[in-house]
């Protein structure tokens, strides 16, 4: 089953009152849109993501939408929500199920995504929704109550909303305005199921909503000012490959067998800083099955990872690196390596430590057949 996720982010969020679209605003150091996209990148049921953005933003999309672990396609949004969804739907060529999500719901959980998709696969269409907890009144134009509605029959719709492709196609063909795709599917004659939503899956419409989301992501407490991350990398050494460590080419008869340039220092430090920021790992951002990273300069990958960390609201406090190799001697190159790594991280060389160790002749490292690196990064919230 091929599931395509459409992230509806084509609006400007005028009710929020911000100078920039609300989906680009930061929630605890991470853009709202990035959080929503990451939820679907992390869901194993989803094969690809199509993001509908305002046309001017789609021309130069944020870096966090590029080169991800799954295909991410950017399309122009339309004047109406249904236009944005239709534009995105046209790019989901191989889908069996389409799951649609408002970019302004950044706290959606994997469980909600999974049960919505499963219900749509079984019944054709499904949405996440919450049963009304309060008594619901219908009010006329004069502000007078005209009816009290049965609370047990009232649900508050959320996203995700998922559809088999023929159902969504029928819905979009109606060409009428609607507040969500489920309403279109209903009017096209299809049955739409309800699955349990999540009270935390709130839609950010006003600054008060953003404040609530910050409270929820922080569990009501301050985010710690310091974060620690570990990184590790190991590569087999083979003849005919250059040995590059921390962006420095080391004279040696062997080099790492790798998809990129195999710079084990940069790879370990990249994982350490991303891990400290809670931003995934090197494979998520620069997958080794992506031709774009073939023979890539790992200093540049580290520089990109550093930008992700800064975007999440963190700065480098210090990085400590241990290189484990029987040969060659690292000491003559340490200062150059520290300078390169510090430059990529946007910090001073004094904040980067690099140490060389042998493996005392033990295992493949001791035999000179491989090289490994351990790295620890300490980040501080900016």
Give kind and range of the element (H or E) at residue 232.
strand 226-239
- Other residues' Cβ atoms within 10 Å of the Cβ of residue 184: 26
**pLDDT for 36:** 95
pLDDT band at 220 (very low <50, low <70, confident <90, very high): very low
The per-residue pLDDT for range 151-210, each reduced to its tens digit, is 889 999 999 999 999 999 999 998 787 889 999 999 999 999 999 999 999 999 988 888
Q: pLDDT tens across 225-247, in order?
A: 789 999 999 999 999 899 999 99
The answer to whether the CB of 85 falls within 8 A of the CB of 8 is yes
- H/E element, 117: helix 110-123
Q: How far is Cα 10 from Cα 3, in angstroms, rounded to an integer? A: 21
3-state SS assignment for residue 356: strand
As a dihedral over the C-alpha atoms of residue 52, residue 53, residue 56, residue 62, rounded to 10 degrees, the angle is -110
Whole-angstrom distance, CA of residue 243 vs CA of residue 256: 6
Buried b (16+ CB within 10 A) or exposed e, 153-178: eeeebbbbbbbbbebbebbbeeeeeb
DSSP result, 94-110: T-SEEEEEETT-TT--H
Q: 46 near 99, Cβ under 8 Å? A: yes
The three-state secondary structure class of 80 is coil
pLDDT, tens digit (0-9, with 9 covering 90-100), for 34-74: 999 999 999 999 999 999 999 999 999 999 998 888 999 99
Q: What distance in Å separates the CA atoms of residue 129 and residue 79, rounded to the nearest whole number?
A: 26
The predicted model scores a pTM of 0.60
**Token pair belonging to 134:** 């309060």
Please report which residue ranges of 298-357 form alpha helices under DSSP H. Answer: 298-311, 334-345
Neighbours of 193 (CB within 10 A): 16
CA-closest candidate to residue 27, choices 199, 197, 202: 202
Tokens 């008869």 -> residue: 253
Shortest CA distance to 305 belongs to which of 333, 262, 331, 272? 272
Q: Which tokens hold the place of 251?
A: 């004279």
Count of CB atoms situated within 10 Å of the CB of 311: 18
User: Domains along the chain?
Assistant: 3-217 (3.90.550.10), 226-381 (3.30.1330.50)
CA quadruple 119, 123, 125, 127: dihedral sign: negative
Q: What is the per-residue pLDDT across 283-342, written as a single tens digit (0 to 9) for each? A: 888 887 778 777 788 999 999 999 988 888 889 999 999 999 999 999 999 999 999 999
Write down how long the chain is.
382
Measured CA to CA, the distance from residue 22 to residue 210 in angstroms comes to 10
Q: Are 352 and 321 in contact (CB under 8 A)?
A: yes
Residue 310 Rama label (left phi>0; alpha psi -120 to 50; beta) = alpha
Q: At what angle do helices 298-311 and 334-345 cross, to 10 degrees?
A: 40
Sorting pLDDT into bands at 50, 70 and 90, what band is 224? low
């Amino acid at each position: 089953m091929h599931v395509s996720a459409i992230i509806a982010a084509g609006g400007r969020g005028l009710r929020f009152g911000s100078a920039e679209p609300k989906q680009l605003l930061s929630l605890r150091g991470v853009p709202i849109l990035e959080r929503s996209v990451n939820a679907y990148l992390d869901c194993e049921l989803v094969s690809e993501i199509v993001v509908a953005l305002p046309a001017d933003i789609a021309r130069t999309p944020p870096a966090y939408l590029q080169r991800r672990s799954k295909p991410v396609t950017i399309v122009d949004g339309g004047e109406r929500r249904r236009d944005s969804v239709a534009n995105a739907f046209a790019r989901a060529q191989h889908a069996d199920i389409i799951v649609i999500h408002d970019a302004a719901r950044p706290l959606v959980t994997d469980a909600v995504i999974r049960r919505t998709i499963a219900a749509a696969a079984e019944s054709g269409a499904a949405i996440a929704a919450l049963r009304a907890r309060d008594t619901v009144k219908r009010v006329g134009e004069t502000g007078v109550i005209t009816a009290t509605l049965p609370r047990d029959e009232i649900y508050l719709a959320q996203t995700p909303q998922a559809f088999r492709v023929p159902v969504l196609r029928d819905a979009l063909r109606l060409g009428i305005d609607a507040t969500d795709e489920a309403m279109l599917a209903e009017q096209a004659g299809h049955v739409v199921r309800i699955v349990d939503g999540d009270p935390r899956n709130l839609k950010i419409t006003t600054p008060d909503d953003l404040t609530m989301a910050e409270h929820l992501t922080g569990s009501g407490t301050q985010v710690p000012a310091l974060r620690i991350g570990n990184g590790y990398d190991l590569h087999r050494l083979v003849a005919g490959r250059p040995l590059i460590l921390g962006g420095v080419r080391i004279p040696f008869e062997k080099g790492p067998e790798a998809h990129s340039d195999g710079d084990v220092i940069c790879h370990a430090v990249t994982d350490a800083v991303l891990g400290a920021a809670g931003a995934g790992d090197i494979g998520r951002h620069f997958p080794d099955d992506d031709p774009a990273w073939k023979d890539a300069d790992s200093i540049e990958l580290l520089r990109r990872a550093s930008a992700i960390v800064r975007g999440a609201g963190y700065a480098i406090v210090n990085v400590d690196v241990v290189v484990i190799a029987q040969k060659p001697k690292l000491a003559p190159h340490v200062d150059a390596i520290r300078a390169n790594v510090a430059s990529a991280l946007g910090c001073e060389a004094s904040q980067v430590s690099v140490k060389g160790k042998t493996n005392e002749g033990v295992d493949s490292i001791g035999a000179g057949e491989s090289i490994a690196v351990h790295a620890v990064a300490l980040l501080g919230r900016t």
